[in-house]
Amino acid sequence: MKVRVITGVLGGLFAISALILFRYPLMGIVATLFTGMAVYEVERMAKITNIPLIALSLAVSLFIPPALEYGLLEKMTAYVPLSVLLTAYVIAALLLTLAFFQTTRFEHVCVALFSSLAIPYAMACLLLIKNAYRAEYSKAFFVLFTGLASSWITDAGAYFIGVKFGRHKMSPNISPKKTVEGAAGGILISALFNLVTFLIFDHFFFKGGWIPFWLVLLISVLLSLAGMAGDLSASVIKRNYGEKDFGAFFPGHGGVMDRFDSTLFVLPCLYALVRLAGKT
């Protein structure tokens, strides 16, 4: 428990530092590195031994976040349609399957393709949101902080409330330790935390009139639910492979994928809301 708390606090401080310095490349570098690590953890868990396939999928996953952040993908698709690029990637992965058919199953190709596209896009949403509010530093910080807080505070709150008051299992066949009481507590704590954060920012930076407080609560609840769905989805993957954690990069928390599994649902949802609000 002590190691878990210390790691969580240090990780939170590091995340806040990256958000404060979001104008600089630090956030993009960290997001890209964590993307590659998360993809590798999933592929390792799936027991993929096809080295060229791993190398190809990692190259694609490391390319996507900076490509989206700096508009490189838009420049590429001006000459070659995205559908053609994706088709070429799938064909290349299948050709590597043919070349190493004795050690590669179709499942491995599916895992490599899915993880190298879904995980990088989700992490890139962090950078896309940053770009959407590039000229509005306080709003950028608040939106990004709200996204990460909705994910991590919901998870932490659900854990501690569940340990203390949990009685009813939420999903015993997927994640036996999660309880309904813990989930409700995590959502409530996250919503209150985000509301207090918003009121502070609204008073000192927004000067009122940006968004109503009830919308902050609603978005917080929606993001918390998305985070829980992401966490449970990752638990299903681990259960399919008989593993407890994706890795061990964060002591007491597991690997990068264990720490960011909920954000893989939260960040795309948050980016969708930003786009709906007229930010591109």
Reported as a single tens digit per residue, the pLDDT across 142-189 is: 999 999 989 989 988 888 888 888 888 888 888 878 899 999 999 999
- Find tokens 């681990």 and name the residue: 238
In this structure, the answer to whether residues 244 and 183 fall within a common structural domain is: yes
Specify the pLDDT at position 134.
81
Convert the pLDDT of each residue in 90-111 to its tens digit: 999 999 999 999 999 999 999 9
Indicate the residue among 90, 113, 133 that finishes a domain.
Answer: 133
Indicate the residue among 133, 158, 183 that finishes a domain.
Answer: 133
* Number of structural domains the chain divides into: 2
| Three-state secondary structure string covering 159-191 | HHHHHHHCCCEEECCCEEEEEHHHHHHHHHHHH
Indicate the residue among 133, 158, 187 that finishes a domain.
Answer: 133
Specify the pLDDT at position 79.
93
Question: Phi and psi of 100, rounded to 5°?
Answer: -125, 45
Convert the pLDDT of each residue in 27-50 to its tens digit: 888 899 999 999 999 999 999 999
Report d(CA 1, CA 80) in Å as an integer: 51
Percent of the chain with pLDDT over 70: 90
Convert the pLDDT of each residue in 261-272 to its tens digit: 889 999 999 999
In this structure, the answer to whether residues 8 and 60 fall within a common structural domain is: no
In this structure, the answer to whether residues 56 and 67 fall within a common structural domain is: yes
Specify the pLDDT at position 102.
92
In this structure, the answer to whether residues 123 and 1 fall within a common structural domain is: no
Range of 10's domain? 1-23+134-280
In this structure, the answer to whether residues 50 and 125 fall within a common structural domain is: yes
Distance set, CA 94 to CA 103, 108, 142, 226, 242 (Å): 13, 10, 43, 32, 27
Average pLDDT of the residues in 233-248: 89
